[in-house]
A and B are shown apart, each in its own frame.
Chain A
Amino acid sequence: MNFIERTGARILAPTIQAAGFTVTVGLRTLGRLGHLGRRRRTVMDQMHLSGVKTLHVVLLVNFFIGMILALQLGYELAQYGQQQAIGFAVAIAMVREMAPMMTAVVLAASVASAMAAEIGTMRVQEEVTALEVMSVDLTSYLILPRVMALTIMAPLLTLLAAAVGILGGGMLADLQLGVDFSGYMLNAIDSLKDRWVWWLPVPKSLYAALIKSAVFGFTIAVVGCASGLQARHGARGVGDATRGAVRNSIILIIVLNFFLGKLIFAN
């Protein structure tokens, strides 16, 4: 092998191996869904850790995102005398894109990193090995509760994030751009009335947000747990695992966001 081949093998082989391991962890987790009943207490604990404890950050970030959207869109729309449409634009942008993605980014930074650090520390301190030696099913005991908790909490957080973002946009539009708040809200609600299929009572944009955020939640937790399980070599290894978990989760969120958006809004 020449220098380029050696370098490629050294970089690509571990990356492909790590990606394969992450996919395996995800598939194994899906295969353990039948264990949810006996893990319900741990799932509740994890929902509290991953959802309730990040709520304030999610709300704060999305409140400002809503205001930023309203500010930038408001200036542009005002040039054409269309500032009344701010509610429409902010609501669509928040529900379809910004709330699911920004919530996922916050969860990647706070929850994926925490999962990777916790499981990584357990790995380097031989706690994971101890579980293996005791014939404890690692996927069922460690991974499933964390993944399911985040898959449930991410859509709930996203709904709140979207609501707060729209509210933030409305407040800015009212105070800064002179748009009537009630008019803004009516406009925002109007924008979310499109149905996906006639028999579903919830707007398509909202379904899109829920589906996206559930997928993001699942992905973030799987990446966080898989990174932790692959941690080696003490504190430095845990640091590497944590950094990798955040980086890879954010990349996956953005890539998945594009494909899910394309799939859901294709027609």
Chain B
Amino acid sequence: MIKLHEVRKSFGAQKVLEGLSLEVPTGKCLVLMGPSGSGKSVILKHIIGLLRPDAGSVEVMGQEVPKLKRRELAKLRHDMGYLFQHAALINWLNVFDNVALPLRESRDMAEPEIRERVTKVLELVLLADQDHKMPEQLSGGMQKRVGLARALVTEPKVILYDEPEAGLDPEMSANISAMIRKLQLELGTTSIAVTHSLNCALVIGDQLALFEQGRILVSGKPAEVLASGHPRVKEFLGA
């Protein structure tokens, strides 16, 4: 479903991805962990088509992302959701309108249908009674949940999570992780999550990969990775 092969990317002299390869099967969730600034978010941006690799291939649902034309990429993105690290809600839209935005802009649905879908998704993230609030009236955790609702509202086949627990207290972080896992199992989406939280990784991940210096050092089922004995796993994850 998501397949990266020998992907290389540099920003000036700085090499960020050095022959990265990974594969996420349909319906599974891969968690990427690694030091800050190592380029984990860059991987997500390649998958969603915001960045083009210098070399290598990025395949999502059988389509080679860097080779897609503008309209083809827009169409592919309709089947993809993206949860931003800081939610990235549109500041002048209330909760309901933020979640409804991708549906309204795609112009594939009538307004009553949009209202029904948005209400349903807001109920899923437990925010149905907050739909009139503006982003600045929400806590960090609520903003994250709105971001999650917006990522889910188009019923995507692929969801990318960029540090879903960042900036949240441990309780809220656990709630968000549990919510992501629940939705993951209910909707059967394929996903990649970038996180620094081992707790979050263990809750949402079917696979775990440790990423550093432009490549994946070790990957597998979470338990396998933790038991791998790799020196960086011990140092970074304390396992």
Give residues in A with beta carbon < 8 Å to B: 122, 125-127, 129-137, 141
Tell me the bound Cα distance from A125 to B86 in angstroms: 8
Contact call A141/B105, Cβ cutoff below 8 A: yes
Contact call B89/A134, Cβ cutoff below 8 A: no
> Residues of B within 8 Å of A, CB-based: how many?
20
Contacts A122-B91, A127-B91 given; indicate if A134 touches B86 (C-beta within 8 A). no
Which B residues from 70 to 105 make CB contacts under 8 A with A?
74-75, 77-78, 80, 82, 84-86, 88-91, 101-102, 105
B85 contacts which chain A residues (CB < 8 A)?
Answer: 126
Judged by a CB distance under 8 angstroms, whether B16 is at the interface is no
Contact call A133/B91, Cβ cutoff below 8 A: no
Question: Which among B78, B90, B106 is the interface contact of A131 at CB below 8 angstroms?
Answer: B90
Contact call A136/B91, Cβ cutoff below 8 A: no
Contact call A134/B101, Cβ cutoff below 8 A: yes
A130 contacts which chain B residues (CB < 8 A)?
Answer: 82, 84, 88-90
Contact call A133/B90, Cβ cutoff below 8 A: no
Contact call A132/B50, Cβ cutoff below 8 A: yes
A137 contacts which chain B residues (CB < 8 A)?
Answer: 105
Contact call A134/B77, Cβ cutoff below 8 A: yes
Query: Of residues B85, B88, B106, B150, which shows the largest number of chain A Cβ atoms within 10 Å of its Cβ?
Result: B88
Contacts A127-B91, A129-B50 given; indicate if A135 touches B102 (C-beta within 8 A). yes
Contact call A135/B74, Cβ cutoff below 8 A: yes
B91 contacts which chain A residues (CB < 8 A)?
Answer: 122, 127
Judged by a CB distance under 8 angstroms, whether B114 is at the interface is no
Contact call B102/A134, Cβ cutoff below 8 A: yes
Contact call A133/B48, Cβ cutoff below 8 A: yes
Contact call A126/B88, Cβ cutoff below 8 A: yes
A131 contacts which chain B residues (CB < 8 A)?
Answer: 90
Contact call B86/A136, Cβ cutoff below 8 A: no
Contact call B88/A127, Cβ cutoff below 8 A: yes
